[in-house]
Structure 1
């Protein structure tokens, strides 16, 4: 009987010890997985390509890259258009709107460029893609439309600027909505949400300036 009791005690002790090891291993495994995902998600090809991956600061996918690559030249053109307003616009409201556009979009260009660099992607160079390549796509102006805007002044400039910028903003909102739907990079998705909110509000403002609302 004494031997049996001793054997039972040893079996119970071993079983309890084994269970404790399994619990510790499970906890340690989860911690390692999370730290690995956070630390290396941005460099993991599988995470980069998975649209269903949880949104996090480090992870990105093809939709995030496409958003950054497309939004950089898109923003650059908006900044170029806005840069014409101080000398050509007649309306103080148009001049202020143009200044606000430049103030908002120039920092976003830098952020987008930084993301592409950190992801090992090339940043679109200025002038590498001319207006004719973008005309009619995502609200980009053609070379002819840009020339028309450059040659306008006064009220004619105000009208052309507002009409073109509405189209331009609508393209940006569409691109941002695609990022919201398909992207996984947390900061890129936040920027997309900001673009949707701010540029939708500006579209409403520009329509009012044109007397459409």
Structure 2
């Protein structure tokens, strides 16, 4: 319980960072040409609630969809890197099962998002390298995780993956409200549903470790 109490204190600090990351994403999205309020810019908007051709060229996507894919691809890739570290290090059976679930869910989603960006004729990386994404682990976090084994790995993995999943859920919720592409919003729905459930599971794992 001492480990979980310590984690909750650390998690509170991480949640502040997550909120900052999501706010930054929203501000960046708002800045993507949104500052132009001229008649020409406003003519590209459909005030009846539909996405116009100017806002969603070539098939109904918008800037929020593009940003969601560009941010979630490296976010998912890091989750897979964390999952790979479990090989030969994890000891808890439930942690090992969760690792496999993460691999099965997130790798196909990465491939989907890459295909969207290719179809939309958009780059995989955000212009200028983007910004810090909510929930992403630092290089030191990854080194610390790799340096552990057994029960210590299980605890560290659960702590880091909770924060990582919380970041993904926040980004997916932004896509749910701001996105236009139906398939992208469906993936966002899946991320919110599955990763929220895994967050709850990981917290229970921490309580018993």
Q: TM-score w.r.t. structure 1 length? A: 0.69
Matched, 1:47 2:26: no
C-alpha offsets along residues 103-147 of structure 1, whole Å, 9 cap, x if unaligned?
10000000000000000011239xxx7xxx74xx31000000000
Alignment pair present for 1:109 and 2:141: no
Q: Name the structure 2 match of 1:202.
A: 198
SS at match of 1:86: coil
Superposed CA offset, 1:65-93 (max 9, x none): 00000000000000000011121001011
Which residue does the alignment assign to 1:187? 183
The structure whose Rg is larger is 1
Alpha-carbon distance, 1:45 to partner: 5.7
Residues of 1 paired with 2:155 and 2:101: CA distance?
18
Equivalent position to 1:177, from 166, 170, 173: 173
Unaligned runs of 5+ in 2: 1-50
Given the alignment, which residue of 156, 159, 168 partners 2:164? Answer: 168
2:73–2:113 contact (8 Å) kept in structure 1: yes
Q: Paired residue for 1:87?
A: 88
User: Matches of residues 86-165 of structure 1 in structure 2 within 5 Å?
Assistant: 86-124=87-125, 134=132, 137-165=133-161
Q: Which ranges in structure 1 are unaligned for 5 or more consecutive residues?
A: 1-41, 50-56
User: What is aligned with 1:69?
Assistant: 70
Let me know the Cα RMSD of the aligned residues: 2.3
Distance 1:206 1:73 in 2: 22
CA distance in structure 1 between the partners assigned to 2:149 and 2:187 by the alignment: 33
- Note if contact 2:53-2:60 (Cα within 8 Å) is conserved in structure 1: no
Q: Report the TM-score when normalising by structure 2.
A: 0.70
